[in-house]
Structure 1
């Protein structure tokens, strides 16, 4: 187990980039053959906006890495965190840490992004997407992503987890983010069965429906159990889904400048006002 975790702790930046690119390309190819929705769009032109936003995210990762490194150095020297007060096998500590990260850094912060007005305005850009596909997983306002990173560090500090746990979580998160956003049609029975534990493509698509109450549902990223526990789970007929958001003009979906200014555009009135 130590060897397994050591691999993630010592992953070079290029290896992480290869993983991200490989998962993105894998689901890009698969959704071309097994599409849930037959979009009539230029896939490359559509991807451009989302991949530029991915570029912003990667830059934030570089800068945020300094703070993250400082947090782990402090944790290593202070023995702060819940993991130092409980005796569990290392695999159990890893599972608990992943669950806490998924709860706090994914489900909980995502819930807040929908319920707190100023945070919702940062998150609108993710929901203004009218062609949800694998690249939508990269579509986040830089400030939205920054908030998510802060909550991830909060989870790290609460648990006092080692760096390897956090990096393994990041690797898993990349996979599930692209998997759940991919315009992928799994066999219905398989998707439904997987959704009892994990967030699946069908399950997450209801979250991208253009109006409430579905927009405020299915907040999870890796595990679906949080939505089930907290009563935010929706699983209906995907044919009833319409992508986008009812407070933003669909024609602006690919206008990067407009999208980045949405949080500060007071002409956009939201239900959280």
Structure 2
């Protein structure tokens, strides 16, 4: 187990970036054969906007990487965190760390991004996409992503986890982010069965519906237990889903400059 985790601790940057583009490519290909929604749009032009936003995110990751190293050095020297208070096998500590990261750095911060007005303004960039596909998983306003990363570091400090746990979680998170946004159709019974444990493509698509109450549901990234536990789980007929937001003009959802300015547009009446 230690050798397995040490791989993620020493994983070079090029391999981490390669993992992102490998997973993107896999689901991009699958979208061509197993579509959930059949819509006509220029997939490459659509991807261009989302991938440029991904580039911003990756630059922010470099800055947070420096901060992360400092935090992990402090945790190592101080023995701070909940994991220091228990005696458990490494696999159990890893599982607990992933659960807490998924709760705080995914479900909880996502809930706040919908419920706090100034956060919701930032998060509308993600929801303004009217053609949800695998590249939508990369579509985040830079300030939105900074908030998410901050909460991830809060979870790291609370647990006092080693850096290998955090890096393994990041690898898993990339997989689930692109899996759940991909425009793919799993067999309905399989998707529904999996949704009792993990977030599935169908389950997450309700979150991208253009109107309430579905917009404010299914906040999870990896595990569906948080939505079920806190009463935010929805699973209905996917044919009724319409992507986007009813408060923004979707004619410019592929205009990068407009998307970066979107949270600061005072003409939009944000209903939060």
Q: Which runs of 5+ in 1 are unaligned?
A: none
Alignment deviations for residues 153-206 of structure 1 (CA, whole Å, 9 cap, x no partner): 000000000000000000000000000000000000110011000000000000
Determine whether 1:17 maps to 2:34: no
Q: Compute the displacement of 1:70 (Å).
A: 0.5
Q: For residue 90 of structure 1, what is the aligned residue in structure 2?
A: 90
Q: For residue 5 of structure 2, what is the aligned residue in structure 1?
A: 5
Q: Compute the displacement of 1:77 (Å).
A: 0.5
Separation in structure 2 between the aligned mates of residue 268 and residue 260 of structure 1, nearest angstrom: 14
Q: Compute the displacement of 1:39 (Å).
A: 1.7
Determine whether 1:247 maps to 2:247: yes
Separation in structure 2 between the aligned mates of residue 72 and residue 56 of structure 1, nearest angstrom: 24
Separation in structure 1 between the aligned mates of residue 204 and residue 56 of structure 2, nearest angstrom: 24
Q: For residue 174 of structure 1, what is the aligned residue in structure 2?
A: 174
Alignment of 1:223-242 (within 5 A): 223-242=223-242
Q: For residue 107 of structure 1, what is the aligned residue in structure 2?
A: 107
Separation in structure 1 between the aligned mates of residue 14 and residue 69 of structure 2, nearest angstrom: 18
Q: For residue 216 of structure 1, what is the aligned residue in structure 2?
A: 216
Q: Which runs of 5+ in 2 are unaligned?
A: none
Q: For residue 162 of structure 2, what is the aligned residue in structure 1?
A: 162
Q: For residue 56 of structure 1, what is the aligned residue in structure 2?
A: 56
Separation in structure 1 between the aligned mates of residue 185 and residue 69 of structure 2, nearest angstrom: 39
RMSD: 0.5
Per the normalisation by structure 2, the TM-score is: 0.99
Determine whether 1:121 maps to 2:121: yes
Q: Secondary structure at the match of 1:244?
A: coil
Q: Across the two proteins, how many residue pairs are aligned to each other?
A: 272
Separation in structure 2 between the aligned mates of residue 131 and residue 71 of structure 1, nearest angstrom: 38
Alignment deviations for residues 104-126 of structure 1 (CA, whole Å, 9 cap, x no partner): 00000000000000000000000
Separation in structure 2 between the aligned mates of residue 262 and residue 48 of structure 1, nearest angstrom: 18
Q: For residue 70 of structure 2, what is the aligned residue in structure 1?
A: 70
Separation in structure 1 between the aligned mates of residue 220 and residue 60 of structure 2, nearest angstrom: 23
Separation in structure 2 between the aligned mates of residue 196 and residue 248 of structure 1, nearest angstrom: 33
Per the normalisation by structure 1, the TM-score is: 0.99
Separation in structure 2 between the aligned mates of residue 256 and residue 6 of structure 1, nearest angstrom: 39
Alignment deviations for residues 43-85 of structure 1 (CA, whole Å, 9 cap, x no partner): 1111000000000000000111111110000001000000000
Separation in structure 1 between the aligned mates of residue 152 and residue 64 of structure 2, nearest angstrom: 12
Separation in structure 2 between the aligned mates of residue 248 and residue 23 of structure 1, nearest angstrom: 30
Q: Compute the displacement of 1:261 (Å).
A: 0.6
Separation in structure 2 between the aligned mates of residue 39 and residue 89 of structure 1, nearest angstrom: 49
Runs of 4+ with >3 A deviation = none
Q: Secondary structure at the match of 2:35?
A: coil
